[in-house]
Amino acid sequence: MIKNLKILRFKSIKRLDLNFGQVNIFVGSNGAGKSNILEAIGIAAAAINRGIGDTEIKSKGIRLTPAELMKAAFKSDKVAASFELELEFGNGLQYKCNLLSKENDPLLRFHSESSYFQNRKIFGRSGNGSTALGESIKGVLEKDRGMWDQIKVAYPFPKAATTQYDEFSKYAIYTPQTDILRGARSGLIDTAPFGLHGEGLPSALAQVLRWRNTDKKLSNSSKRLIDSALQLSFLPGWTNAVKVGKIDSKLISRGMEEPNSDMVYFIDKFMKQTRNTLSVYDSSEGTLFLLFIGLLVAHPSSPRYFALDNIDNALNPKMTRLLLEQLIAFTKKVNEESLDFGPKQIFLTSHNPTSLDAFDLFNDDHRVFIVNRDDEGSTCVTRLEPPQGVTRDEWRVLAQGKNLSQLWLEERIEGINGLEVV
């Protein structure tokens, strides 16, 4: 799990030092820099995975911004040549990269990288050369390709470090889009287990169902997680069955692209058997969004670390809270039972006040962050937590029995709307 992230000079961020839990949500005004934090994590994951070229950056769900616009350029400061990211994981693994972002150069370049495991340097490169496990590396490393990807099979790195890097390197930012989920528009499947916006949903569902029903090595606990995740799409209440396969062509709406393969469809439990089958095009967008997230949790190829930008997309306030409660429970189960699939750590953004009601401010695995911008325009982040030494009962008194969404709407949470509230 990522324990700490330091960001220097990235987009709207001058300097941030963030400590994370299992499930982390960023809330605040529009344009405050919430998505920039998700993208900073994505840049680090890309650097560890294969590199910082456009293809890898795009596959992480990061906007293809010109390289020179990725570094901060505040009026009060001289524009630096680079920005810097530093990660610390819970097992003592650390990674740091300094990335050049030059004018008139469309690509990012590595200026330096270093990694320590339990206070021992395991690899690094700079203008003075490159080393791995204390040995000098001969030859020239590619400057837009991550060092880890170029050397990981050539040296006996600690298994704990290798596992952590392999898992984190698959991090991606998911932003499901209704027209893609409904099959009205196709897109590229640029990451596992389906595209960042919902491309390839039918094949992903078919794979999970087949795996759930045929893998004899799956524990009962793992099967329960899969079932619970897939049942997220039942939360709205109108369906209790989701399937994948062929359906009567007469039930495929004209607004859809002609399907070349199987498709997802739902059974409306309130309708007659002859009229109860709905394609994704005719199903509610909230139901599709919930299925997307269920598959992201349940699929064996899903990243163990991922972000969802605008978790409240297409959901009403109550459904947003219910979904987040389930995501928090899933992540807790995966970590406590050491399951070999499912999310270990999640990062979210939201503009919906009820999203906060799923979080327990007294649980250190839950982290709520308020994001705004200071007088210079730099992104600032404050963790929302009770005053030090205040008990849960005392907090209820301070909050006058109101939940966090009510405090948000009453503008009693400082900075959450871009305002300084007293």
pLDDT on residue 420: 39
The rounded distance, in Å, linking the Cα atoms of 350 and 87 is 24
pLDDT on residue 368: 97
pLDDT on residue 76: 85
Judge whether residue 147 has pLDDT over 50: yes
Judge whether residue 418 has pLDDT over 90: no
Burial class of 387 by CB neighbour count within 10 A (0 to 12, 13 to 18, 19+): exposed
Label residue 274 by pLDDT band (50, 70, 90).
Answer: confident
109 DSSP β-pair partners: 100
Look over the chain and give the mean of its residue pLDDT values, rounded to a whole number. 91
Nearest to 296 by CA among 311, 314, 281: 311
Q: What is the per-residue pLDDT across 43-81, written as a single tens digit (0 to 9) for each?
A: 999 999 999 988 899 999 999 888 888 999 898 888 888
pLDDT on residue 65: 86
Chain-centroid distance of CA 374 in Å reads 25
Judge whether residue 282 has pLDDT over 90: no
Judge whether residue 357 has pLDDT over 60: yes
Residue found by looking up tokens 């991606």 in the block: 172
Of 6-10, 16-20, 215-219, 272-276, give the lowest mean pLDDT range: 272-276
pLDDT on residue 247: 75
Judge whether residue 395 has pLDDT over 70: yes
Q: What is the per-residue pLDDT across 169-224, written as a single tens digit (0 to 9) for each?
A: 999 999 999 888 887 666 666 777 889 999 999 999 999 999 999 999 999 999 99
**Residues 6+ positions from 334 with CB-CB distance below 8 Å:** 225, 341, 342, 343, 344
Label residue 256 by pLDDT band (50, 70, 90).
Answer: low
Burial class of 260 by CB neighbour count within 10 A (0 to 12, 13 to 18, 19+): exposed
Cβ atoms within 10 Å, residue 403? 13
Residue found by looking up tokens 């998505």 in the block: 35
pLDDT on residue 102: 81
Nearest to 295 by CA among 273, 325, 274, 264: 264
Judge whether residue 234 has pLDDT over 80: yes
